[in-house]
Amino acid sequence: MCECVRLGTENQVAEFEAVLEQNKGNGENVMEVLQKTQGIFGYIPELTVAKIANALQIAESKVYGIITFYSQFSLTPKAKYNLDICLGTACFVMGAQEVLDKILAKLGVRVGEMTKDGKWIVTSCRCLGCCGLAPAITINGEVYGKVKVEDVDKIIDSFED
């Protein structure tokens, strides 16, 4: 019981257990299992790694190896608002770096660091596929296109409740 408390809500744990059950002994499904785990908890809690390895019957080191290889997987919890800025070529050429500088200055963090109030994490990615709208950012998955340095205050402030 105490483990569940640390892992997440009961529902989350039940959902997670169900995913493990479905993929028992199926080592090749590890990517999908990790994707689902991240979908459930918002990140991949350390505690799940051994469970996944056990259920899929693969080495724990292999699970870690996969988590750290693919940039999408995260071992740290998400913030309330996750801002992902595209640093793909089109966005870069259209000034994404300046937008990023401004965002970081405004929130007072570095890339990948959570703000002290736990509200924001800024990450960068390479191409969201909205290059026609460069520079593009997403906040909790919603796309904002043609972002200018001047827009940053307004966009971020609109999330401050």
Partner 1 sequence: MNICELEKIKQQFIKEINFRKLGDTSGVEYKYDVMVCGGTGCRSCKSKKVQDALEETVKAKGLENLVKVHGVGCFGLCVNGPIVLIYPNDALYEKVAVEDVEEIVSSLAEDKLVERLLHHEDGKAIEKKDEMSFCKKQRYIARNNSEFMCLENILEDYIALDGYRALHKVVSEMKPEEVVKVISDSGLRGRGGAGFPTGKKWEFTRVVEAEQKYVICNADEGDPGAFMDRSIIESNPHAIIEAMAICGYAIGANKGFVYLRAEYPLAGERLQKAIDDATARGLLGEKIFGTDFSFELEIKYGAGAFVCGEETALMRSIEGNRGEPTLKPPYPATKGLYGCPTVINNVETLANVAQIINNGAEWYNQIGTPDSKGTKVFALTGKINNSGLIELPMGTTIREIIYEIGGGIPNGKKFKAVQMGGPSGGCIPEQHLDTPIDYKSLSELGSMMGSGGMIVVDEDTCMVDLAKFFLQFTRDESCGKCTPCRIGNKRILEILTKITDGEATMDDLDELEKLCHYVKDNSLCGLGQTSPNPVLSTLRYFRDEYIEHIKDHKCRAGVCKKLSKYVITDKCIGCSACSRQCPVGAISGEIRSKFNIDQEKCIKCGKCCETCRFGAIVKE
3-state secondary structure the chain: CHHHHHHCCHHHHHHHHHHHHHCCCCHHHHHHHHHHHHHHHCCCCHHHHHHHHHHHCCCHHHHHHHHHHCCCCCCCCCCCEEEEEECCHHHHHCCHHHHHHHHHHHHCCCCCCECCCCCEEEEEECCCCCHHHCCCEEECCEEECCCCCCHHHHHHHCCCC
CB of 56 to partner 1, least distance (A): 9
Q: Which option in partner 1, ligand FES, none does residue 115 bind, with CB closer than 5 to 8 A by kind?
A: none
Q: Is 149 in the site for ligand FES (CB under 6 A)?
A: no
For residues 21 and 18, what is the distance between their CA atoms, to the nearest angstrom?
5
* Closer residue to ligand FES (CB): 67 or 96: 96
Contacting partner 1 within 29-58 (CB under 8 A): 29-32, 34-35
CB of 145 to ligand FES, least distance (A): 9
One character per residue 129-158, x = contact with partner 1 (rule: CB under 8 A): xxxxxx-x----xxxxx---xx-x------
* Contacting positions for partner 1 (CB under 8 A): 27-32, 34-35, 65-66, 69-73, 86-94, 98, 101-102, 105, 125-134, 136, 141-145, 149-150, 152
* Contacting positions for ligand FES (CB under 6 A): 86, 88-91, 127-131, 134, 136
